[in-house]
Amino acid sequence: MTYCLGIYLKEGLVFASDSRTNAGVDHIATFRKMTIFEKVGQRVYFLLSAGNLGTSQAVVNHLTRNLGDKTSSINLYATKNMFEAAEMIGDVLRDVHAKHGDHVRAAHADPGADFLFGGQVKGGKHRLFHIYSAGNFIEASPETPCLQIGETKYGKPILDRVITHNLALENAVKVTFLSFDATMRSNLSVGLPMDIATYREGKLKVDRHVVVTEADQYHAEIRRNYNSGLIELFRSLPTPPWLS
Amino acid sequence: MTYCLGIYLKEGLVFASDSRTNAGVDHIATFRKMTIFEKVGQRVYFLLSAGNLGTSQAVVNHLTRNLGDKTSSINLYATKNMFEAAEMIGDVLRDVHAKHGDHVRAAHADPGADFLFGGQVKGGKHRLFHIYSAGNFIEASPETPCLQIGETKYGKPILDRVITHNLALENAVKVTFLSFDATMRSNLSVGLPMDIATYREGKLKVDRHVVVTEADQYHAEIRRNYNSGLIELFRSLPTPPWLS
């Protein structure tokens, strides 16, 4: 299972993905689910995937091998804006489904894969999309700043409480840790390492890209402090009057 | 959508269910999803349902109309213990599926319904089961004290953090409010009123049964205090060192 999160802020973008791939009970493998395409000063793309690993890796490979090839129709660096780039990814995804979909379904597996795609192209705004397995997509907005794919529900309540479009990027990263912590506690098939990347609006280069492993001190600390703080908060709340 | 929760404690049992039924976009109706069967001093059963409302209401009706009828093979008051009672409910559920299942599927709907079933029969222990739509079931244990059906994921992280088999019943009720709050914030199709019932081990009668509506002061207070406490806790946590 996978959990990927994208947050659309006034200040920029935050992306996070776990890297656990679950293929059956006794085989849990680790794969990167975040791909970053960067041409400093020109454009930056962040692409995160959840779902069938064959499908998502095929899409990433098609996009990567043609990058910068001016003769190719699927050169992500040739698109005029984020919308065109999202459309191109949707088209590649449809091509992959056309080639492999029926064969995967014949093997009783689901070829579906979803993507989060965000970034900025020079001259345009920073944007964030959820590209569905069908190849169509929706865009994050100030009213709906968080997009999630994969195992989304466990980590949603804390986002709903805290995230707004105007939140400072640092704080959005903090919530990201908490949202992943909730997910990893409730679903063992989502696990570390976790990729976190941040982008600051207008910079046209990656701000930070960090791989959080079990050895990460900040992760251990926020996880511990949040849990003990929550339990303390819980204790401080009154019990129902009809029980006392 | 529905969310139902059952908690198996050393001290007893806690049950909670919302009462929102979602049949299409513009029609959200309210139905009770908790049925209590009580024969004071002899036995108490709590039955909660999620899934197809036709199926779950049919099961409850079959169980209710034969209650105490010594000539009927599906008299819940004639079972020797909780296990036999759970088996009887599974059998009734299979009968309902046999009669209606194909017709419901032909109308492109899912006839599936899951149940939480718990209580105590004189001479036995208090027990809690999840009866699957297939009619088979699993039992809660000290290691796995929480069973959930319906929209289960949003409300699970707080349970995972706080609930243990040895938790005081009052505190388990408090967590129940928080678990439902998280669910109702993240999924509008789960909503008040909420039924909460408690059972104290060995008492062979209902401890408390409360219907929590929008007017409930405790609900409003714990919801508000938990949210502001969480946001305060969130603010108190440090941001990642690599961002500052």
pLDDT of residue A29: 63
pLDDT of residue B141: 97
* pLDDT band, very low/low/confident/very high, at A68 (cuts 50, 70, 90): confident
| Segment A138-152 mean pLDDT | 96
- B112 in Cβ contact with B133 (< 8 Å): yes
| Segment B60-79 mean pLDDT | 92
Cα three-residue angle B39-B45-B47, rounded to 5 degrees: 140
Q: Across the beta sheet with A146-150, what order do the strands follow?
A: A146-150, A3-8, A12-18, A194-200, A208-212
Confidence (pTM): 0.88
CB contact under 8 A, A242 and B170: no
Chain B residues 142-201 with CB within 8 Å of chain A: 153-158, 160-162, 169-171, 173-175, 177-178, 182-183, 185-186, 198
Question: How confident is the prediction for chain B on average, in pLDDT?
Answer: 93
Q: What is the ipTM of this complex?
A: 0.84
pLDDT of residue B30: 67
Domains and CATH numbers, chain B: 3-238 (3.60.20.10)
Chain B residues 4-33 with CB within 8 Å of chain A: none
DSSP A142: S
Residue B244: list chain A partners with CB under 8 A: 170
Q: How many CB atoms are located within 10 Å of the residue B77 CB?
A: 16
- Which residue bears the tokens 């409910």? B89
* pLDDT band, very low/low/confident/very high, at A47 (cuts 50, 70, 90): very high
In terms of Cα–Cα distance, which of A197, A231, A24 is closest to A119?
A197
- pLDDT per residue over A1-46, tens digit each? 799 999 999 999 999 999 876 555 456 666 789 999 999 999 999 9
- pLDDT per residue over B73-98, tens digit each? 999 999 999 999 999 999 999 999 99
Q: In DSSP terms, which residues pair with A148 in a beta bridge?
A: A5
> By mean pLDDT, which of A81-95, A179-193, A195-209 is the weakest?
A179-193
pLDDT of residue A28: 60
The single-letter code of the amino acid at B129 is F
Rounded CA-CA distance B202/B211 in Å is: 24
CB contact under 8 A, B238 and A218: yes
- B163 in Cβ contact with B143 (< 8 Å): no
Q: Where are any strands of DSSP class E within chain A?
A: 3-8, 12-18, 20-22, 28-30, 34-39, 43-51, 113-121, 127-131, 137-139, 146-150, 194-200, 208-212
To the nearest whole Å, the CA of A168 is away from the closest chain B CA by 11
> By mean pLDDT, which of A97-111, A186-200, A221-235, B36-50 is the weakest?
A186-200
Contacts A–B by Cβ distance under 8 A: 119
Question: How confident is the prediction for chain A on average, in pLDDT?
Answer: 93
- Which residue bears the tokens 């009828």? B69
Q: Does A229 touch chain B (CB under 8 A)?
A: yes
Mutate to test the interface with A, among B163, B187, B233 (most CBs of A within 10 A): B233
- Which residue bears the tokens 């088979």? B136
pLDDT of residue B140: 97
Is residue B60 over pLDDT 60? yes
* pLDDT band, very low/low/confident/very high, at B188 (cuts 50, 70, 90): confident
The single-letter code of the amino acid at A118 is G
- pLDDT per residue over A107-137, tens digit each? 999 999 999 999 999 999 999 999 999 999 9
In terms of Cα–Cα distance, which of A32, A5, A39 is closest to A193?
A32
Rounded CA-CA distance B177/B181 in Å is: 6
- Which residue bears the tokens 């707080």? B158
Nearest residue of A to residue B241 by CA position?
A218
pLDDT of residue B23: 55
| Long-range Cβ contacts of B170-174 (<8 Å, 24+ apart) | B170/A239, B170/A240, B170/A243, B170/A244, B171/A234, B171/A239, B172/B7, B172/B9, B172/B14, B173/A239, B173/A240, B173/A243, B173/B14, B173/B198, B174/A234, B174/A237, B174/A238, B174/A239, B174/A240, B174/B222
pLDDT of residue A183: 93
Q: Does B211 touch chain A (CB under 8 A)?
A: no
Which positions ≥6 away from B85 have C-beta within 8 Å?
B45, B76, B79, B117, B119, B121
pLDDT of residue A19: 82
CB contact under 8 A, B234 and A198: no
To the nearest whole Å, the CA of A176 is away from the closest chain B CA by 11
pLDDT of residue B29: 64
Rounded CA-CA distance B90/B21 in Å is: 23
For A220, the 3-state DSSP assignment is: helix
- pLDDT per residue over B12-51, tens digit each? 999 999 987 655 545 666 678 999 999 999 999 999 999 9
To the nearest whole Å, the CA of B163 is away from the closest chain A CA by 11
- pLDDT per residue over B201-235, tens digit each? 999 999 999 999 999 999 999 999 999 999 999 99
In terms of Cα–Cα distance, which of B120, B132, B130, B121 is closest to B94?
B132
- A198 in Cβ contact with B243 (< 8 Å): yes
Mutate to test the interface with B, among A212, A228, A242 (most CBs of B within 10 A): A242
Is residue A191 over pLDDT 90? no
